[in-house]
Chain A
Amino acid sequence: GDSVTQKQGQVTLSEDDFLFINCTYSTTTYPTLFWYVQYPGQGPQLLLKVTTANNKGISRGFEATYDKGTTSFHLQKASVQESDSAVYFCALVDGTGGYKVVFGSGTRLLVSP
């Protein structure tokens, strides 16, 4: 079945550092891809969504482009702030029927001031 892989369990940065979180996916269809963010004590919330390959999703300074050739959907931000500390989930819409979303295992971002 469709799957999403996030190999980085945790990323630790200082404020103003560049952020890069890896995500790769596997699907037999043309996926819709998401990044969700979960702040401490809250449920996940949508950060950005991309429906077409090579299109860039941008939100709150974060950006992601999905590359069909490398099946990657990495999340980037030029300069992180302490308030960006959270867990980031890469996700895709399952190709069978499109009724469900498959989530990656999440990457915890810790930003120190």
Chain B
Amino acid sequence: EAAVTQSPRSKVAVTGGKVTLSCHQTNNHDYMYWYRQDTGHGLRLIHYSYVADSTEKGDIPDGYKASRPSQENFSLILELASLSQTAVYFCASSDGLGYAEQFFGPGTRLTVL
């Protein structure tokens, strides 16, 4: 049974619209991460969290917000979606800092038109 799930798996949004991507983990991990994947750029960290009700900025947080209402759930929010945010988004969880293995979800393909 998949330990990190994401919804939706794909989404088409309009420019200027609000988008919420959801992530749920059953690993009992404290750390959760949001990455975006673009061709030629690998994975880039947007936001992360190490405890419920707290989030931290990663390397590319502009235009994104994050919410961690519980240990199991971590959301990524695009308040005003833009064309440049078209990408594949991955959520991950781990039981420690970066030294620990990260377990990734299957990804959400977001297309902003």
Instruction: List the interface of chain A (C-beta within 8 A of B).
Output: 6, 9, 32, 41-46, 49, 51, 89, 93-94, 97-101, 103-106
Contacts and interface: CB of A to CB of B under 8 A. Distances in A.
Contacts of A101: 45, 98, 102
B101 interface: yes
Contact of A44 (B41, B43, B99): B43
A42 B9 CA distance: 11
A102 B73 CA distance: 23
A89 B42 contact: yes
B58 A103 contact: no
Q: Which 4 A-B pairs have the closest CB atoms?
A: A43-B104, A93-B98, A103-B42, A103-B43
B99 to A, nearest CB: 5
Contact of B42 (A43, A100, A105): A105
Given A32-B98, A43-B90, A101-B98, 13 more contacts: A32-B99, A42-B104, A42-B106, A43-B4, A43-B92, A44-B102, A46-B101, A89-B43, A93-B98, A93-B99, A98-B97, A99-B50, A99-B56
A61 B48 CA distance: 33
Contacts of B104: 42-45
B92 A99 contact: no
Interface in B35-71: 40-45, 48, 50, 56, 58-59
Nearest to A1: B59
A49 B21 CA distance: 30
B90 A44 contact: yes
Contacts of A44: 43, 90, 102, 104
Nearest to A46: B101
14 contacts: A32-B99, A41-B106, A43-B4, A43-B92, A43-B107, A44-B43, A44-B102, A45-B103, A93-B97, A93-B99, A99-B97, A103-B42, A104-B42, A106-B42
A92 B104 CA distance: 16
A98 B48 contact: no
